[in-house]
Structure formats: C-alpha cells, structure tokens
Structure 1
Amino acid sequence: MLAVAPVLDHLDRDFDGAVDRLCDLLRIRSVSTDFTYKDETRSAAQWLADQLTGMGFEASLRETPGHPMVVAHHPGPPGATGPHLLYYGHYDVQPPEPLELWNSPPFEPTIVDAKHGKRVVARGAVDDKGQVMTFIEAFRAWHAVHGTMPARITVLLEGEEETGSPNLVPFLEANREELGADICVVTDTNSWNIDTPAITYMLRGMLYLEVTLHGPSHDLHSGLYGGGVLNPINALTRVLAQIHDDQGRVQFPGFYDDVTPLSEAEREQWRGLGFDEDGFLAGVGLKTPRGEEGWSTLERVWARPTCDINGIWGGYTGAGSKTVIPARASAKFSCRLVAGQDPKKILAGIRAFLDARTPADCRWDVTTFGNSPAIKVPADSPHLKKAMAGLADIYGKPPVLIGSGGSIPVVGYIQRILGFDSILVGFGLDDDLIHSPNEKFELACYRNGMRSHAAILARMAEG
C-alpha cells in the first residue's frame, strides 16, 4: 500500500509551483463559444495532455467536429486490483465579456488578498480550470513521490462544456470500452463552505423548451381587428398562467407521478446544515421565499421538480409604437427534474397540457433544446463512502451530503452510456462569481482540493 503522508507533504512544499502552473493554464484563452479562440482552446488541451504525459500517463488529443478531447490513461501500480477511476473535467471557459467590469484583465491571473487569505482572479479560475488542476496536482505529487498512481486512472477532459457539450455523447458512445471504469470523479461543484467539504449526491435534470402559438396568418392592425379576433400573446399568457396552481404545484399531467420522495433522514440532515434562507434571498434582493408549499427552500431547490418561464415575446418590441396583433407569440421555459422523472414522459405531459388548451384556429410548435435526467447516487455506495473518508482525512470532519438545483448533463451521460455512477466532489464557493466578471478561486480551496484528491485516491486504492 503506497503511503499518502509523503504525497501530502510534497503538495505542501510545492504549493507555490502549483499556483504558478494554474496561472499558466489560466493565461490560455480557451473560450470555446468563439472560434476566434480555436487555436488557443486547442493549446489548452495540449498543455494538459503534456502535463499528464509528464506524470506517466499515456495522454493524447482526440479530434471531434469541434474542440478536441483530452484522454489519458495510467495503469496504476503493478498488479492493481482496486477500482478503476475516471476523472472528468473541462478546459474551456466562458467568454470574459463585459470586459469593463473586470478589476484586472480576465486572462492575466492576479493574486489578491481577501478574507480567506489569497485568491486568484481570472476567467476559468474555478470553472473549471482551477478545479481540474486540483486532481492534476494530486497526480503530480503521487508521481513525484512514488513514481506511479495508487490506482488505475483514466482522464477525460472536454473543451465544449460551456457550449453544451455537442460532441460529448457521440464521443462517449464511440469510445465506450476505452472509457470504462468503476466510478467517475467530477470536480465541478462546491464545498458547503470554506471549512466544510461537501459531496453533491443529487443533481436535478432539465428539459428545456420553446413553444410558439400560431394564430392569424399575418400581423394585424389592432384598430381594425382588435376585439374581433384572437390575439396570440393574450392567449399564450393565459395558458402559461395555468402552469402552476395556487400552491405552486406544476399542472402538467403526470408531472409528479415518478418523483422519488426524500427520506426523513435526508430532510433532517439538511435541516442541520444551518442554511441561511434570509441571506440566500437577500443576495438577490428579495425577502420572501416562494415556491411549492410544504417544502423548505433547500428542499425546493435541491429535490423538488419545477417549471420556470425563461423568456416570452411576440408582436412589436422595438422603440416607439407599432400597434399590431401579432401572428404568433412564443415563450421559452425549463423544467428542472428530480430522481425518478423521465424527461420524455414529462415532455408528453407538456404537449397534452398545451393541446388541451389550444384556442380555436390556432396551433402549437414545440421545440426541445435539450433534456437530461436527474441523478442521485446511493448514499451507501462504497465509492461514495471512500470519497467521504478521504475528505475527512484532510478537513478533520466528515463532509456533508448536499443536492444541487443545477444540472451537469455529463453525469447523466456517463451513467446512461458508460454504465456507472459519478461522485461530485468540488471545492468552489458560492461567491466565486462563476461566469461573471472577477471570477475567482480561493487558494485555500485550491490547496484543500489538491490534498483531498490525493487522500481520496489513497482511500480508493484500498480496494
């Protein structure tokens, strides 16, 4: 059994070097949504592949119709019999605009003093370059101390996560055998706070739609036709207003049929987290919680399905006046789904809901932009327990198990296509300004992340 203590010591001694390497990666403008940065995005992939090669991995870039994947393999120690681990992350970043809101250039990483010590400010600092580097640096330390990894490891890094991962599913399907493992480790989530580690064991899924209600054959003069014909905007808003009842429950047929209920033990644990509801609301300028009655705010956000209208338009919306009754009106809305719900079944219920409310002489167009199922990792998973033990080794206390209202589609794809679960262990904080100007990563979180991944590897290797 390879000892982890000298690996942790090496990480501590080399911390300044690890920060320098993170800054080197952050300087590469790997903005996947803008092909102006195509060459630099590829450079980020190559930089990571080179780092892994230097640690004894067999690493290469794999071409896709878009940006390349980085795939790397390490056989582990001779005769390795423990679990085979797949590590997933992404090396692309969001566009930096609006540039004028940054306190320093977004691709010139800056170390600044803050309440938790020092932090690095740059685009991609926490999403996801800093988090990826937590396990890369753990690998580096294992290689430096022992000349090998403690377990069999595969690494998959993609360059299109910020564009919706258009080539990920085909890549997983085409490389199912090569990417096979026992568990996936995803580092793209948060700690509970800077002193308390967390494992996200449930993620909501999502179904995202655009609906258009078509009425008259063309836009009409509201003076000549107003009061005599149907107005699609009026009709659409009446239909959308029926999505929720007075208790905040979604009215699509069958919407709650397959929802996996929370256990009382889960509800009790979440009540013990000390969630600051007032602070949560005040952070967005509100005071009053809203949503489905009978559930706490955490339960609504983490474990209850929802439907929210994300945009609505029709007719004339430009400057000045133009009095028309429009030919059509449209809306975008998203359903966040929970464990047990099938996006296809929910879509069928939405169609039935709309069809039952179609005004005379009208028709609907429904476009689906994406769907992914919710994920819930069993709390008694042996891999989850080992990850929890590794975190406790570093923090001196057990991690909390939390949910997330957001969606990470890759977790569902890995489960569906590759056939195994993921453990989501991340080291970001709620105030890291992901996707916003002045994105940052606390160096204390970076250090804890590296040490935690080293310890989790040691625990996983126990078999």
Structure 2
Amino acid sequence: MSLDTVLVKIDGEIDLALDRLIALLKIPSISTDPAYKDECRNAAEFLVNDLKSIGFDAGLRDTPGHPMVVAHGGPDAVEGVPHLLFYGHYDVQPVDPLELWDSPPFEPAIEDTDKGKVIRGRGASDDKGQLMTFIEAMRAWEAVNGALPCRITIFLEGEEESGSPSLVPFLQDNAEELKADIAMICDTGMFDGRVPAIVTQLRGLLAEEITLKAATRDLHSGFYGGLAQNPIHLLTKIVADLRDDEGHVTLPGFYDDVPELSDELRAQWDGLGFDADRMLEDVGLSVPAGEQDRTALEKVWSRPTCEVNGIWGGYTGDGFKTVLPAEAHAKISFRLVGQQDPEKIHAAFVDFVNARLPEDVSCIFSNGHGAPASVMSTEDPAFEVARGALSDEWAVEAAFVGAGGSIPVAGHFKEILGMDAMLIGFAKEDDAIHSPNEKYDVQSFHKGIRSWARILSALSEAA
C-alpha cells in the first residue's frame, strides 16, 4: 500500500473532488418535506452511481420512507484485516428562512472569506461534505493501489434530519449484512475548529412532559385566591426542587450509574485549553451554572443534566386576566451519561413529582421518551491508531472528546449490530449547520479526505 502516493493523488485532484461535492449539493434532498421525495431519491442514486464508479457493489434499499444506500468494497474477510462500516446521511435540513441566505442554498459555490475558502450551500457541512471526504479517500486509494486496503461497507441514510423513522427496522432486518468490526460516523466535527477529535461518548436523553391538574376549571383569583391550589405555584416549586443550590440534580439514585473520568481522559481534556468564559460571552452570559464542583467540559460532555425546556399555564395573552389556572404544564429533559437507564430515571421522576402533590392535585405524564448514552471503549487499539493518524495529518495532537448532544445512530450500532463507533468529522462551530448560509471549509474537505486515507492505512497496517 502506498499512502504517500494516495495523498499526492488527493492533492492533485482536489478540484475534481470539489466539483463532485458541488454536484451533490445541488440536489435539494430535504427529507422532512414530502415535496422533495424525488430529490431525496435522486441524491441516493447519485451516491450509488458514484460508488459504483470506484468499484463498490452499491445499491438502493427502499424503506417506508427515503431509501438507504448500501455498498460493499475491498477484499473478502481476511483474518487480521479489519472490516469497517462507514455511516453518513445524504438528506438535509429545510432552508427556511430563505430570505436570510446570501445566495441560493442549492446553488453551491466556493467563496473566499477572511478565514479562507469555503463551500457555501445547504448540506455542505451536514452531512454531504463530510460523507464525501470518505468517498473521495476511497476513490484515491482505489486509483493508486487498484484495491481498497480493507473490507469496507458504506451505509448512507436519507432520513437523519427527519428523525430516522426507518433506521432501526432497517438495521434489525439487515444486521448480518451490516455488521463489521467497528463503525465510522462522519456526522461530527473538530474541537474548537482546530483540534482533530474522535468522539467517544455521547449523552443520552430522557424527555418528559407533565401536566398538573387542580380545580375543574379556571378560578377567579378574587374568590379563590389564597384558598384553592394554584398548579403553577406547585409546578414551579417541583421544578425548583429538581436541583440544589450547587447545581446537583436531586432525584434519588440519579447519579448511581454515572462514572468518573479516567485520569488519561481528564488530562486530554485539560490540555485542550477550553475557554468557558468565551463560550458564555458569545451568548451574553458570564456566570457558569450547573454543578459547581465540575469543570466546564465535564458539564457539557460527561455529566448528566436536568433542564426545564418549557413551562406554561394560565392566561398569557395581552392584558391581564386574574385567574387561578386549572392546569400547569412543563417540558423537562435529562441528558444522561454512562450507564444511566432512561426507564429508571423516568420512574424516579414520577415518584419525585407525585410525592410533592397534595391529595386533590394530579399529574399526567405524557410524551416521555428516552435513549441511553453511548460510551465507546477506547481500550480497542483501533481508537489510538486512528488518533495517531489524525494527529499526523493535522500536526496537532488529536483528542478523545465527548459530545453534549445525542447521535442516536451510534447507540443503535452498539445495541443492534454489537459494535462501537468512532465519530470522526471535520466540521467547525461556525459552519451554520441547520441555519442560513451553511458552509464547509475547503480545508476541512481537503484535509478530511487526507485524514480518512491515513486512518484506513493505519488501521489496515496495524492489523
């Protein structure tokens, strides 16, 4: 295998790679809008044809929603040579509000900015630019070496931006075909726009909606105020009780399954030089909230949370209406880490609320749903090999990092296919994903292709 020649090939044909990305970006594959159903299929067919052109056995797989793309390439199973599954998604977010775009979202172009060249257009970063970094690395590798360095399965989804309704059934029905030694997920980014990263832990989520019911109707506060229960007062008291003055969540047993960071991971995170003050300043804040005995990165990557996302009740229109409302409502979410069980946390939350209700007030729990955290075992030598390859390409020591949000597919791969995933991407915080004027740095695209070539070489040689 000739990695150096592959890298030269990538450098020499970057303009052609950009042309292919721009062609894909022109397809308005908005998965959540039925009006774009045919365009989603067009994007999937584009990718199938492109993968076939570089030697993959690729095809569309129909689902009740938008089709999946599945492709296989490289040598058959060989002892000691890894089998990798690569995941990305070809669908994109809607473009509204259209008037805030500086150029048409599906007329992508290369632009010069004060930070360098960027590719502007919907899906440039999330996730078409990212998934094409991997495909372009495969193209260069095949062209130089005549074969891929290891067995590779590519799995591209068309419903990620609309909740992935077909994903779990498809994984269950096709588990044997899709199983590999490890998955690679490109739907992520770099740390602080400068440090290449492998996300090794993702927080889970538990979402709760509650309705407190008191009197049979809204009451006149002049007649009933001070006598009848006001569910808004009660609800705000319950919400306040969920955290103590130091920012800790007070649900009994909430922290039972929360692990502490390893010394190695803590040292990596401390070395990232994360500026929490700047992060808060960017949104007009200055005083950190949450657990006061934890660092900022711990709070957003490896600690669980409880947050009120919405609260309402009574009269909220113009003017004033002096009522005691019959109902009060709240939406509350918990970010979960480690081995925290959403069902266990839900049961503790139900008990917590019910224990604070007087006899003539009831609570309805509705729309609750959750998923556990995903934690990858970095004891697998492949993680350190990939980290070394990223460090070589970017001339910056790559880091194992956490992610405050949730990427459900990583958990599904673990639960259904029985394998861990490396989340490696090259997006930056200012890419404006899901927003007007989305972009992807040309450097991210170029060095992303080179990074995947290095990772594949390193993983194949390590075996």
Fold-level match, TM-score > 0.5? Answer: yes
Task: After TM superposition, give the deviation of residue 250 of structure 1 in Å.
Answer: 0.4
Q: Unmatched 5+ residue regions in structure 2?
A: none
Q: Does the CA contact (< 8 Å) of 1:80 and 1:151 recur in 2? A: no
Task: After TM superposition, give the deviation of residue 322 of structure 1 in Å.
Answer: 4.0
User: 2:410 — aligned with what?
Assistant: 411
Q: Does the CA contact (< 8 Å) of 1:253 and 1:352 recur in 2? A: no
Q: Does the CA contact (< 8 Å) of 2:77 and 2:151 recur in 1? A: no
Corresponding position: 1:91 with 2:90: yes
Question: How far apart in 2 are the matches of 1:240 and 1:344?
Answer: 20
TM-score by length of 1: 0.96
Q: Does the CA contact (< 8 Å) of 2:57 and 2:72 recur in 1? A: yes
Q: Unmatched 5+ residue regions in structure 1?
A: none
Q: Given residue 187 of structure 1, which amino acid in structure 2 is its aligned partner?
A: C
CA gap 1:80/1:350 in 2 versus in 1, 3 angstroms: same
User: 2:300 — aligned with what?
Assistant: 301
Question: How far apart in 2 are the matches of 1:193 and 1:277?
Answer: 11
Question: How far apart in 1 are the matches of 2:358 and 2:447?
Answer: 58
CA gap 1:101/1:447 in 2 versus in 1, 3 angstroms: same
CA gap 1:370/1:448 in 2 versus in 1, 3 angstroms: farther
Residues 109-118 or 165-174, more deviating: 109-118
Deviations 1:154-189 (A, max 9, x none): 111111111221221111111111111000001111
Q: What pairs with 1:22-171 in structure 2 (closer than 5 Å)?
A: 22-76=21-75, 81-171=80-170
Corresponding position: 1:433 with 2:438: no
Residues 6-15 or 177-186, more deviating: 6-15
Deviations 1:44-69 (A, max 9, x none): 11111111111111111112221111
Task: After TM superposition, give the deviation of residue 350 of structure 1 in Å.
Answer: 0.9
Deviations 1:240-290 (A, max 9, x none): 111100110001111001111112332232122111122111111111111
Task: After TM superposition, give the deviation of residue 366 of structure 1 in Å.
Answer: 1.5
Q: What pairs with 1:370-409 in structure 2 (closer than 5 Å)?
A: 370-409=369-408
Q: Given residue 296 of structure 2, which amino acid in structure 1 is its aligned partner?
A: T
Residues 5-14 or 410-419, more deviating: 5-14
Question: How far apart in 2 are the matches of 1:369 and 1:160?
Answer: 22
Q: Given residue 456 of structure 2, which amino acid in structure 1 is its aligned partner?
A: L
Q: Does the CA contact (< 8 Å) of 2:193 and 2:429 recur in 1? A: no
Q: Given residue 6 of structure 1, which amino acid in structure 2 is its aligned partner?
A: T
Task: After TM superposition, give the deviation of residue 126 of structure 1 in Å.
Answer: 0.7
User: 2:288 — aligned with what?
Assistant: 289
Question: How far apart in 1 are the matches of 2:435 and 2:208?
Answer: 25
Question: How far apart in 1 are the matches of 2:3 and 2:285?
Answer: 47
Question: How far apart in 1 are the matches of 2:324 and 2:193?
Answer: 54
Aligned Cα root-mean-square deviation (Å): 1.7
**Secondary structure of the structure 2 residue equivalent to 1:131:** helix
Question: How far apart in 1 are the matches of 2:29 and 2:310?
Answer: 29
Q: Does the CA contact (< 8 Å) of 1:30 and 1:92 recur in 2? A: yes
TM-score by length of 2: 0.96
Q: Does the CA contact (< 8 Å) of 1:194 and 1:445 recur in 2? A: no
Task: After TM superposition, give the deviation of residue 310 of structure 1 in Å.
Answer: 0.8
Q: Given residue 402 of structure 1, which amino acid in structure 2 is its aligned partner?
A: V
Corresponding position: 1:226 with 2:249: no
Q: Does the CA contact (< 8 Å) of 1:190 and 1:426 recur in 2? A: yes
Residues 93-102 or 310-319, more deviating: 310-319
User: 1:330 — aligned with what?
Assistant: 329
Residues 314-323 or 2-11, more deviating: 314-323
Task: After TM superposition, give the deviation of residue 326 of structure 1 in Å.
Answer: 2.6
Q: Does the CA contact (< 8 Å) of 1:77 and 1:148 recur in 2? A: no
Question: How far apart in 1 are the matches of 2:78 and 2:262?
Answer: 41
User: 2:314 — aligned with what?
Assistant: 315
**Secondary structure of the structure 1 residue equivalent to 2:233:** helix
Q: Given residue 267 of structure 1, which amino acid in structure 2 is its aligned partner?
A: R
User: 1:367 — aligned with what?
Assistant: 366
Q: Given residue 415 of structure 1, which amino acid in structure 2 is its aligned partner?
A: K
How many residue pairs end up in the alignment? Answer: 462
Q: Given residue 100 of structure 2, which amino acid in structure 1 is its aligned partner?
A: L
Question: How far apart in 1 are the matches of 2:62 and 2:222?
Answer: 58
Q: Given residue 155 of structure 1, which amino acid in structure 2 is its aligned partner?
A: I
User: 2:209 — aligned with what?
Assistant: 210
Question: How far apart in 2 are the matches of 1:329 and 1:36?
Answer: 38
CA gap 1:361/1:382 in 2 versus in 1, 3 angstroms: same
